[in-house]
Structure 1
Amino acid sequence: MGQQRAMRRFAAWHIWLGWPVGLPILMWTLTGLVMVIKPMEEVRGNHLRKDVAESAIPSDTNISVSLPSDSTDPVRSVTTQVERGETVTRITHMDGTSERFRPDGTKMSPLSEVEARMIVDENIVGGDKIVSSKRFAADEPPSDFRRPVPVWQIGLQDGTHVYVGTQTGAIEAVRTRWWRTFGFMWGLHIMDLETREDTSHPTLILFASLSVIGSLLGCVLLFRRRKGRVRVAA
């Protein structure tokens, strides 16, 4: 008798919990399904990046690059490579900013719109079909980039956004239309549409805990015994 009473109580709890956790569970299942439809490499746009062969630095190149004597920014790395036929030395600082220099030590200006378009054309499939370009400062990154890096946003005909760093001269990110759909679904999945980064906040933990409890109650109720109804012949 006590067991039946407990089972009835569990059934009542299970029904009441179904109201607050039913919608989140459906949302988690739906968003999870959408996010696994396509491979992550395709979501990130890696399939649009061309395999461009690197050029060797000419053997007769004399590189003379040095930091200003009054510079106080710690240096993380110094690299030299050929970019669009020109030898470029890039000094990257610990804060993520970088500077580009020619072999004679002349500092190069930030990447121009024309240069950004050329980089996209050379390195991205469909990069010759550009429909828009816009420059963003480090403190005002676009919603589908979300990194404090100054960039050029190059929009392609298929809706892809290619971000080229104005300081680095490199493709920082490729954002396809599917990536933006993925980002929205991820925000719903973790219940954080604002930053889409907080995976440990009270609302998410609360609904996840309630869902676990509801699932456990459902598992317990699988063993509930039901008395068969006796049919009385007329």
Structure 2
Amino acid sequence: MATKHGNFFKWHIWLGWLIGVPLILWTASGLFMVARPIEEVRGQHLRAEVQNAAMAYENIVMFADDGNAVTGARLIAQGDGLVWIVNYLDGEIARYDAVTGEAMQKLDRQAAQQAADALYLPDETIRSTRYFSAENTPSDLRREKASWQVHFADGTNVYIDAVTGETLAVRTRFWRAFDFMWGLHIMDLQAREDTSHPILIGSAALALFGSILGFIMLFTRRRRKHRTAT
């Protein structure tokens, strides 16, 4: 029994060295991520409430589809008016003025700044505005869409869809810290999306085995003490 207990003890020590760092990372990153509500992480409290202005207009006109097959259309409030966001069968997306029915151009820099400033509640100045194509999206956007990144003085990035003018994301400094911790938690600091890869699975398996081994040692040690006492 003593030899068996000694082997368990040695294995547990070696496993402790192997899984100690992952366990610390999982616990620390998990604690950080649950420290604030997920709505706060996503910046929901920093966004102006979007009003449904559809009823404010009596003469809403349809858009001209130019013979293209339409797969979907949404009427949304944008700025001081309403616009149609139209999806076509070939994958194209267009924007139409809901009052005149005329096609609207993609957002320019000034329009993106106005949209972001109207959305973002904190009184912060805009430091920079940068366009990103769908093929070269920034790491904190997580969406393959053409966008304008409006960077505020407090470090927050507001992403505006360059085609539709809609808000794609609000990324605060805390969100970026949260995203880094999420990468540590799933052991994927590059893409931060893969939750099923060999390193993570192997570490989790070792952690489980080490925990079970430690649990078994509690009973073997207890029996050993009982026999020594008797």
**TM > 0.5 fold call:** yes
* Secondary structure at 1:221 match in 2: helix
Q: Which whole-Å CA distance do the structure 1 matches of 2:196 and 2:142 have between them?
A: 19
**Contact in 1 for aligned 2:124/2:153 (Cα 8 Å):** no
For residue 78 of structure 1, give the secondary structure of its aligned residue in structure 2: strand
* 1:165-195 residue CA offsets vs partner (Å, 9 max, x unmatched): 0112111100000000000110011010111
Change (3 A) 1:115 1:181: same
Alpha-carbon spacing, 1:40–1:12, altered in 2? closer, same or farther (3 Å): same
**CA distance in 2: counterparts of 1:95 and 1:204, whole angstroms:** 40
Question: Which aligned runs of 4 or more in structure 1 are off by greater than 3 angstroms?
Answer: 93-97, 225-228
Q: What is the CA–CA distance in structure 1 between the aligned matches of 2:195 and 2:92, rounded to whole Å?
A: 28
Q: Aligned ranges for residues 1-234 of structure 1 at < 5 Å?
A: 3-55=1-53, 56-61=55-60, 63-69=61-67, 71=68, 75=71, 77-93=72-88, 98-102=93-97, 103-126=99-122, 128-223=124-219, 224-225=221-222, 226-227=224-225
Contact 1:49–1:123 (Cα < 8 Å) also in 2: yes
| Contact 2:161/2:168 (<8 A) preserved | yes
Code of the residue aligned with 1:33 in structure 2: it is L
Note the C-alpha offset of 1:86.
3.0
Which deviates more, 48-57 or 209-218?
A: 48-57
Given the superposition, is the C-alpha separation of residues 116 and 122 from structure 1 closer, same or farther in structure 2, using an over 3 Å criterion? Answer: same
Task: Tell me how far 1:96 sits from its aligned partner.
Answer: 6.9
Q: CA RMSD in A?
A: 2.1
Q: Within 1, Cα distance between the matches of 2:123 and 2:114?
A: 9
TM-score in terms of structure 1 length: 0.87
Number of corresponding residues = 223
| Post-superposition offset of 1:60 | 3.0
SS in 1 for 2:192: coil
Structure 2 CA distance for aligned equivalents of residues 95 and 162 of structure 1? 29
User: Measured at CA, do residues 82 and 26 of structure 1 come closer, stay the same or move farther in structure 2, by a change above 3 Å?
Assistant: closer
Displacement of 1:27: 0.9
Q: Is the 8 A contact 1:126 1:156 kept in 2?
A: no
Q: Are 1:138 and 1:148, in contact at CA under 8 Å, matched by a contact in 2?
A: yes
Q: How much does 1:127 deviate?
A: 5.7
Query: Following the alignment from structure 1 to structure 2, what is the Cα–Cα distance between the partners of residues 93 and 128?
Result: 37
Aligned-pair CA distance for 1:93: 4.4
Q: In 2, distance between residues paired with 1:162 and 1:194?
A: 22
Unpaired segments ≥5 residues, structure 1: none
User: 1-side partners of 2:192 and 2:91: how far apart?
Assistant: 22
Note closer, same or farther for the CA distance 1:64–1:94 as it changes in structure 2 (3 Å cut).
closer
Which amino acid is the alignment partner of residue 163 of structure 1? Y
Shift of 1:64: 3.5
- CA deviations on 1:42-98 (whole Å, 9 max, x unpaired) are 11000101124332342134x1413232x36x61x2122442223321103478752
TM-score (structure 2 length as normaliser): 0.89
The letter for the 1-side match of 2:22 is P
